[in-house]
Structure 1
């Protein structure tokens, strides 16, 4: 099969051209899908593997990738996001869903008596250098419970709490909330991301009082 020289050679170019194809209606959908798979699939897969910290198998990674591309095909052009940033946002959402499902299957670890988390311990709990595998099961259970308690009144903070607990950096949080992944964060974006994570952790602290055996 002859190669299609019209395919862009950059991630952002492929995403933008896929949006243009989708504007043609049903007839452009197949080409848009090929553009996304060929032009964006490799980088998205690398992102999925990196942010699952080696905990995801090939089947689940492929599933997340396909779900990401299909979701983009269904809603390719949100008003406040570039096509490239939107692809990463969808991938993050899919990955968070996968992490939450995985952790829900594993939660319930016991064995720590009289645990009361103070400010320092709460900070250590979200040390992103630890990675997923270092967080004890009982701590992750506390995080899940705190997020559930926060969900009704502060759904965004509950979501950010889970993101930070899963190892997301302030930069990644900023990108999720609209920062361009290909540009250096501005001081304002960095401050906003740090503020989001701080407020999520601060609100969660009241719920860790119940994390005692």
Structure 2
């Protein structure tokens, strides 16, 4: 295709494309692999009395971190080992997996926003000090964007509204129904799971364009 264009035409087309997208806000996309959020009660059962998580690396959202600790997820048909625990602890344990992970475990995770566990599946979690059975809390996280209030107000985006995000590249795609989560406690960041990332050829750190209506 490039062989059919002279250099001036190529430069012009690139400028036109950049100009076309310049009006849309950019967001960093990070791929959220399978992980577990633990309640303080379950943390102690799995790792021991008065146990505290050991931070491994900070995440983009303020105060959140990947811990050194990992657990095993056990489902009706299989197990997945070395699943990272994220901190800090939460009020309720939540397990976030992809649909592909669900095939391995024999669990069909419902697509939900974080914290919405009603009607979701359960599983068994195994740690070095013991195991716990959760009756619900296994989800495939709904694709979403964390955004600070100032950013949302600038672009007229309401909390809990749904957006479209364009990702350029070899497998150019528009993600529909991306949930906006607005809070002064958030940094601007979009999360998708590994299934979505693999299908669209997206890697952590890639940029998306929020397509404003």
Normalised-by-shorter TM-score class? under 0.3
TM-score (norm 2): 0.26
Q: Higher helix fraction: Structure 1 or Structure 2?
A: 1
Q: Higher strand fraction: Structure 1 or Structure 2?
A: 2
